[in-house]
Structure 1
């Protein structure tokens, strides 16, 4: 039994001691934490993988441009597909959404296309379960708008129906103060770091927060990235001054954290830039809200002195392209040029006179931690007349070295592979 599973009874006990009874009864988490059935006999929702919708998605992919030798195919039809995480031993893909579903996507025959897509843990009432991430020893963490849950052996329990083994890591209403809950920037993102801690990116509710709210936001890790032990203890703010990150990963070479950040709206079509940041230590400040993105000052804080030692981004992306999920490429399938670099999903602009984004970017990362020139890797989801055929959200690598891309607009996951 792995270390996380050995600790599960302790984690469940600690969670039950603090879990509000009314909420536990509401969404069955307490029952599942005790390894008991909920009595839910309603079949989990399934998503058909054939038919006119799948055919239309495949047709749309003919418009996607890639470098020579690469091809893109439909991997799965997945409604509202957002953040993804891949179970280390089986390759089962778990997909978060901004609604109330988490999807379990299984390729049983390893043909590199989904055989089935089914609702995961349908006995649990989720609220914005955007963030999904696995620990190396196989525990699935789901970070909702204001709660963190853990699911050991999720890929196996999820096969059995609506009831799964579960534990509460952070109880409902305790991830952030409830007064800061908002439909704006309420989708979290998570990773388990090389230090075995759980890292969670927390947005904040405003375009630019009022000055009288800034101290409380910072204290609780909003507009930042927090980390904690996998049982929820020893929480701390790891990165400050982060407006709304929905993508982070660790460089396998030096174990340091990198993350994207979405910057201030309403400053014009061409400013401020989006960001790719590099965190080399805990506690640094990345400039928001004094800076709207890159070195561009915000109107609201232009007369305020920024914190000392602000860390500016490694890469300034196109303004309002909405860079979200990112990951280091550790596979061997792609040419050497791409190995060790960062793939990043641009969701696309919503408030720009001429839309931009809806593409996958690539940034080479050198051994010394510096970066090369960022380039477009995959594009075509934004048509020449400004219509979106899709909006990429996250990029994750399958065990064979191919790249998965989620798309919440089209409701799909694509697979990009390479052959000489």
Structure 2
């Protein structure tokens, strides 16, 4: 049997790869050469159970939105994290912090997906949290310690075998992999390069390691084939949301700040990168201008860039997107929608909201407000859902992923 032969060869050579790992690598090799893997043609699907859809719809009755807006269930998607929207078919590719990537399809175009199926089941994913789509239809999947590219993804995604390329095999040495702050996100820049967030794995970067964290605690930039990797922005604790402003081409990112300093400090952050190489203050700062205890006696760099917006402490700001659609009123055009996952260690919970930040003519933040709220029950402290990511759909509506309820929602504008 193939698995036994691979394992025997591994043992004879002393390489000691598990049979599962060897088969996963063989599958990857075959896919890169457009060869079949023998994976079952019947793909794992997620039933769109009417009873669960009804309950999720009932939960959404508690969501508060500005007048004229409506929120509905788009699909049941287990562990839904970051999303990428296809350019033609409109399939939505959804990552998780586990081993699944989902392909979500609205086949009859009624703005509710009928089909949610496992994407690329012949690929062995590990924390495929980050999804980003290039203008020419290539899906990039940012795993914990690997970056994959799926060319012509909307052509191949219907079957179990999909064309794939390994862009980057490892960002960090395998022996340095950490389970904390390992959910990566990615985007394609206006320079046609790949940008990847790399959270640092501690609450506060340890003093005995010195101030240099790279590639941890940074946003990395590289060519789309993985070459010429460099640090684009540093001094970042854990960013799980990055997006370019299509207007002035600047990169914005959310940053989750230090825990254990109290309920109301330090603030979460929404940041703007105006030029490469800027420093955003970690580990000297825990968030905003609040100093960390571990680094309080050290002089911070003079060029630290403070956040454009200070968000509520511990609200856990994650995915963000710039709105450039035509469905919403003009006041939202060019602004930023961002998701707050919600606090886990605050005495009184906060978050589980969608925020909106206006961007002024100078390209800087011009005010932030709550756009959608109600996933947090103020009386019980229970989360009905926890938003992770926001992405604009092809028709100008807004998709919201929720890894707690296991769903994607669609926010549309119905008019006054």
Q: Does the TM-score normalized on the shorter chain lie above 0.5?
A: yes
Equivalent residue of 2:366, what SS? Answer: coil
Instruction: State the partner residue of 2:24.
Output: 26
Instruction: State the partner residue of 1:103.
Output: 102
Instruction: State the partner residue of 1:209.
Output: 205
Equivalent residue of 2:154, what SS? Answer: helix
Instruction: State the partner residue of 2:298.
Output: 304
**Alpha-carbon spacing, 1:164–1:355, altered in 2? closer, same or farther (3 Å):** same
The answer to whether the aligner puts 1:243 opposite 2:254 as a matched pair is no
**Alpha-carbon spacing, 1:204–1:330, altered in 2? closer, same or farther (3 Å):** same
The answer to whether the aligner puts 1:54 opposite 2:53 as a matched pair is yes
The answer to whether the aligner puts 1:254 opposite 2:248 as a matched pair is yes
Is residue 88–residue 154 contact of structure 2 (8 Å, CA) maintained in 1? no
Cα-to-partner distance string for 1:311-356 (whole Å, 9 max, x where unaligned): 0000000000000000111011111111110001000000000000
Give, in whole Å, the separation in 2 of the partners of 1:163 and 1:350.
39
Give, in whole Å, the separation in 2 of the partners of 1:257 and 1:164.
31
Q: What's the offset of the Cα at 1:214?
A: 4.3
Give, in whole Å, the separation in 2 of the partners of 1:258 and 1:334.
22
Give, in whole Å, the separation in 1 of the partners of 2:103 and 2:216.
29
Q: What's the offset of the Cα at 1:419?
A: 1.7
Q: TM-score, normalised by structure 1?
A: 0.92
Is residue 104–residue 115 contact of structure 2 (8 Å, CA) maintained in 1? yes
Is residue 82–residue 393 contact of structure 1 (8 Å, CA) maintained in 2? yes
Instruction: State the partner residue of 2:140.
Output: 141
**Aligned with residue 345 of structure 2, among 344, 351, 354:** 351
Query: How many equivalent pairs are there?
Result: 396
Is residue 63–residue 372 contact of structure 2 (8 Å, CA) maintained in 1? yes
Matches within 5 A, 1:187-202: 187-202=183-198
Instruction: State the partner residue of 1:288.
Output: 282
Q: What's the offset of the Cα at 1:210?
A: 1.1
Cα-to-partner distance string for 1:237-287 (whole Å, 9 max, x where unaligned): 000001000001111111110000000000000000000000011111000
The answer to whether the aligner puts 1:406 opposite 2:401 as a matched pair is yes
Is residue 137–residue 154 contact of structure 2 (8 Å, CA) maintained in 1? no
Q: What's the offset of the Cα at 1:288?
A: 0.5
Question: Which structure 1 residue ranges, 5 or more long, are not aligned?
Answer: 1-19
Q: TM-score, normalised by structure 2?
A: 0.93
Question: Which structure 2 residue ranges, 5 or more long, are not aligned?
Answer: 1-16
Give, in whole Å, the separation in 1 of the partners of 2:162 and 2:365.
43
Give, in whole Å, the separation in 2 of the partners of 1:60 and 1:35.
44
Q: What's the offset of the Cα at 1:43?
A: 2.6
Give, in whole Å, the separation in 2 of the partners of 1:348 and 1:214.
31
**Aligned with residue 363 of structure 1, among 352, 357, 368:** 357
The answer to whether the aligner puts 1:418 opposite 2:413 as a matched pair is yes
The answer to whether the aligner puts 1:274 opposite 2:268 as a matched pair is yes
**Aligned with residue 230 of structure 1, among 221, 224, 229:** 224
Give, in whole Å, the separation in 2 of the partners of 1:129 and 1:166.
14
Give, in whole Å, the separation in 1 of the partners of 2:43 and 2:22.
20
Instruction: State the partner residue of 1:164.
Output: 162
Which segment is superposed worse, 53-62 or 354-363?
53-62
Give, in whole Å, the separation in 1 of the partners of 2:211 and 2:89.
44
Give, in whole Å, the separation in 2 of the partners of 1:33 and 1:335.
45
**Aligned with residue 313 of structure 2, among 314, 319, 322:** 319
Give, in whole Å, the separation in 2 of the partners of 1:339 and 1:315.
19
Cα-to-partner distance string for 1:211-236 (whole Å, 9 max, x where unaligned): 23345632xx2101001000000000
Matches within 5 A, 1:371-386: 371-385=365-379, 386=381
The answer to whether the aligner puts 1:337 opposite 2:331 as a matched pair is yes
**Alpha-carbon spacing, 1:126–1:167, altered in 2? closer, same or farther (3 Å):** same
Equivalent residue of 2:411, what SS? Answer: strand
Alpha-carbon RMSD across the aligned residues, in angstroms, is 1.4
Q: What's the offset of the Cα at 1:400?
A: 0.9
Cα-to-partner distance string for 1:20-39 (whole Å, 9 max, x where unaligned): 99856434211111111111
